[in-house]
Chain A
Amino acid sequence: MAWQRRILRVDLDAGTCTEEPLNMEWAMQYIGQRGLATKYLVEEIDPKVDALSPGNKLIMATGPLTGTMASTGGRYSVITKSPLTGAVACSNSGGFIGAEIKHAGWDMIIFEGRAPKPVYLYLENDHAELVPADDVWGKSVWETDEILHAKYQDPLIRIACVGRAAEQGCLYSAIVNDLHRAAGRSGVGTVMASKQLKAVVVRGTKGVSGVRDAKAFFKATSEGKRTLAENAVTGEGLPKMGTQVLMNVINEVGAMPTRNMREVQFEGASKISAEAMHEPRESDGKPNLVTNGACFGCTIACGRISTIDPQHYTVQDKPEYKHASGGLEYEAAWALGSDTGVDDLDALTYANFLCNEDGMDPISFGATVAAAMELYDIGAITTEHTGGLEMKFGSAEALTRAAELVATGEGFGRDLALGSKRLCEKYGHPDLSMTVKGQEFPAYDPRGIQGMGLAYATSNRGACHLRGYTVSSEIMGVPVKTDPLTTDGKAELVKAFQDATAAVDSTGLCVFTTFAWTLEDIAPQVDAACEGGWSPETMLAAGERIWNLERKFNLDAGLTKADDNLPKRLLKDAAKTGPAKGMVNNLDVMLPEYYQLRGWNTDGVPTPETLARLGL
């Protein structure tokens, strides 16, 4: 058993921390992390609850392989109801805190209620207590981390916390751990702040005991690591270039969402790419990229550690931003750059630092700034609304100032903190919001990658690339190459990716392993660690069960088939350049086939037979 079989339930109203056994019957069906925590959420909250009310719960969940010697086994997820989408939220993060929670002896922490005054949880192995957070409430993530490390005089404690953006109600606030890793999407940080919970501080020294078959686990994880090391992507490409290697690829194939998705190619892509991050700059001869970095147990190490040009306008008189910190990943670089039309690498890096410092999802933040820029462009908002800020496409100053305003909840930052959907509705142009279910798009225009249109429309947490990353097949050819411009076979492809990803997200492993691994590589690791007889087939079945459980929660929350849609722009306005020139996304072709493959009726509701087959 790689599960610790223990849950910590934190009642924020009463101020109590209680141990209870993990429901092992559910663990056999939902594995852990994403799947198992979703099961707890579904069982414990009213799906129609106001996401920011005390009736919502927030679950920090590890997987059975979190904290083990399996490569990338450091992941944890935050599961709650999203204030941004009204749907289920599940945000996955790396870094070290997931393993630390596990090493403290816990599979999950369930937070319920709302603390009467701001608190943080201090967890050291079996000792759990809620501590007044007067010294850190109102502070940024970075300040909070520093204060709490100094307070406990223990460099090995791991901290996840919210920044000022969440306290100010920004609807796409993240929970940041280890300074620059984040459970980033869907506003999970906003929920945490609404509970007056500032931070989770963890120290665990127990390790993970009871691996089912230690010898088989050693063999399976060693073979897995060898596969990752020998694979050109996970062994060489990702460590060297990071996810940012995609900037030029996606631009070349004509699927780079640009200027609020008006266009599909960005003329400045090469200036904000992985290659640009390696180029020495004129001022000090150093490149933006300092080194790569790895999360707990990871043998890929795709993380970016960067510095800003010391001569850049953003850091003048701000020495705190002149050190190396978490740099641009592709999703952040796209949203902050191409989508706003800004090609200033240092401005993007600064905005990214602020997203880490105060806990904003850089995808939703960048896309919301892009929407504001389009509203400004058409005259729907003016400098009167923005407090004098000229929100022009391509303006680095507008981008970086916007980040400062959202981080602190000042002025026009309060409008930007609403997210793209509510911002565009407020200013009378809802069609300009590039969102699904209220969540902003990631970095792939579905006119140029057809399968991603279906993946976005049906994603259970709103527009998201990590729920079914068919880019892997449609562009990179992993595991097989498919044509990005056709809808043929995409319903099946999307379903396969969604189910497999749901399973992987429930193990404690990183989904990036799947550039080299399939479930054939992962299942032996899970099976060696856990009882339950895990095979690729049973894992895939668990993934499908998890997907349908999430779907059922969303339907019960009030979402319908109408929410499985894309913005009109992507369905009506053809791509202007690139291989997809003249094309829209043909969601209408793919969606009925997808429902059929899923065993859902024409309204997108799982049939009784499907629910019975999946044990739901």
Chain B
Amino acid sequence: MRITLKMYASLAQFLPPEAVRNVVEIELPDDISIHEVIARYHVPRESAHLVLINGVYVEPEQRDEPLLREGDVLALWPPVAGG
């Protein structure tokens, strides 16, 4: 399946070179978990703090499950805050 992967802030360093403005389209095997995607891009698991699929937060205990579907947007951040 194809999904859109977005990685921001300090996680931008793990994006493949073809990414534009922190966004890249990637091909993944079906049934892959978020933790497996994270490992594929060498992102330390503890650094992927904020994990969103289509803008919705994914709880840490769900990240071993095959939640991703064709066309989804997976967005990752380290711990961030502002205001």
Chain A residues packing against B (C-beta within 8 Å):
231-233, 236-238, 240-246, 248-249, 252-254, 270-271, 274-276, 302, 329-331, 465-466, 469, 471-472, 475-478, 481, 483-484, 511-512, 515, 578-579
Convert B2-14 into 0s and 1s, putting 1 for each residue whose CB lies closer than 8 angstroms to a CB of A: 0000101110100
Quote the shortest CB–CB distance from B12 to chain A (angstroms). 7
User: Which of chain B's residues have a CB closer than 8 A to the CB of A512?
Assistant: 81, 83
Contact of A476 among B12, B21, B50 (CB under 8 A): B50
Given A249-B8, A252-B6, A275-B22, 5 extra CB contacts under 8 A = A232-B78, A245-B77, A252-B73, A253-B52, A483-B57
A469→B83 CA distance, assembly (Å) = 8
CB <8 Å contact, A238 and B82: yes
B62 within 8 A of A: no
**List of B residues within 8 angstroms of A238 by Cβ:** 81-82
Q: Tell me the chain B residues, 57-83 only, with Cβ under 8 Å from chain A.
A: 57, 59, 73, 75, 77-83
CA distance A469 to B82 in the complex (A): 10
Q: How far is the CA of A511 from the CA of B81 in the complex (A)?
A: 12
Some 25 contacts from A to B, beta carbons below 8 A apart, are: A231-B79, A236-B78, A237-B79, A240-B9, A241-B9, A242-B82, A245-B77, A246-B80, A246-B81, A249-B77, A252-B6, A252-B52, A252-B73, A253-B55, A253-B57, A270-B21, A271-B21, A275-B12, A275-B22, A276-B21, A330-B82, A478-B81, A481-B59, A484-B57, A512-B81
Q: Which of B21, B49, B59 is the one whose CB lies under 8 Å from A275?
A: B21
B1 within 8 A of A: no
CA A375 to CA B15, docked complex, whole Å:
42
CA distance A472 to B50 in the complex (A): 12
- Chain A residue at smallest Cβ distance from B54: A579
Query: Chain B residues with Cβ under 8 A from A471's Cβ?
Result: 83
Instruction: Write out the residue numbers on chain B whose beta carbons fall within 8 Å of the beta carbon of A511.
Output: 83
Contacts of B28 in A (CB 8 A): none
Q: Which of B8, B54, B75, B81 contacts A233 (CB 8 A)?
A: B81
Could you tell me the dominant secondary structure of chain A's interface residues?
A: helix
Shortest B45–chain A CB gap in Å is 13
- Top 7 nearest A-B pairs (CB, nearest first) are A243-B82, A232-B79, A246-B82, A579-B55, A515-B81, A270-B21, A233-B81
CA distance A245 to B82 in the complex (A): 7
Q: Verify A237–B78 contact, CB threshold 8 A.
A: yes
| Interface residue B56 (Cβ < 8 Å from any Cβ of A) | yes
Taking a contact as CB atoms closer than 8 A, the residue among B12, B49, B55, B56 that contacts A232 in the complex is: B49
Q: Are A476 and B22 neighbours in the complex by a CB distance under 8 Å?
A: no
A249 engages B83 (CB within 8 Å): no
What's the Cα separation between A21 and B39 when bound, in Å?
A: 62
Which chain A residues lie closer than 8 Å to B23 at the CB level? 270
Set of chain A residues within 8 Å of B54, measured between Cβ atoms: 579
Assess A244 versus B55: contact at CB under 8 Å? Given A275-B12, A275-B21: no
CB of B19 to closest CB in A, whole Å: 11
Are A233's CB and B80's CB within 8 A? yes
Distance A469 CA – B75 CA, assembled complex (angstroms)? 23
Rounded to whole angstroms, the CA-CA distance of A437 and B67 in the bound complex is 43
Docked-complex contact A240 and B82, CB < 8 angstroms = no
The CB with the most chain A CB atoms within 10 A, among B50, B59, B75, B80, is that of B80
Q: How far is the CB of B81 from chain A (nearest CB, A)?
A: 4
* Assembled-state Cα–Cα distance A270/B19 (Å): 13
Q: Which of A236, A302, A477 contacts B50 (CB 8 A)?
A: A477
Give Cα A478 to B23, complex, Å: 26
Whose C-beta in chain B lies nearest to the C-beta of A579?
B55
A538 to B57 Cα, complex, angstroms: 35
Nearest CB of chain B from residue A255's CB, rounded to whole Å: 9
Q: Is the CB of B56 within 8 A of A579?
A: yes
Complex CA gap A476/B82 in Å reads 9
With contacts A243-B82, A477-B49 taken as known, whether A236 is within 8 angstroms of B10 at the C-beta atoms is yes
Tell me how far the C-beta of A504 lies from the nearest C-beta in chain B, rounded to whole angstroms.
13
Given the known inter-chain contacts A275-B9, A275-B21, please indicate yes or no for A472 contacting B55, CB distance below 8 A: no
**Across the interface, do B57 and A274 meet the contact criterion of CB distance under 8 Å?**
no
A237 to B78 Cα, complex, angstroms: 8
Q: How far is the CA of A242 from the CA of B77 in the complex (A)?
A: 14
Known: A236-B10, A248-B8. A481 touches B81 (CB 8 A): no
> Do B75 and A252 have beta carbons less than 8 Å apart?
yes
CB distance from A444 to the nearest CB of B (A): 9
Given the contacts A249-B50, A275-B12, A270 and B22 also touching, CB distance less than 8 Å: yes
Q: Return chain B residues, CB-CB under 8 Å to A232.
A: 49, 78-79
Report the nearest B residue to A243, measured CB to CB. Answer: B82
Q: A249-B8, A252-B6 are in contact. Are A241 and B80 (CB under 8 A)?
A: yes
Evaluate contact between B79 and A476: CB separation under 8 angstroms. Answer: yes
- Please name the residue on chain B nearest to A466 by beta carbon: B83
Near A by CB (< 8 A), chain B positions 8-34 give: 8-10, 12, 21-23
B81 touching A472, Cβ below 8 Å? yes
Q: How far is the CA of A560 from the CA of B83 in the complex (A)?
A: 28
Q: How far is the CA of A79 from the CA of B82 in the complex (A)?
A: 24
A229 to chain B, nearest CB (A): 14
B9 near A237 (CB under 8 angstroms)? yes
Task: Give Cα A242–Cα B81 distance, bound, in whole angstroms.
Answer: 9
- Report if A245-B8 is in contact (Cβ < 8 Å); known contacts: A252-B52, A477-B49: yes
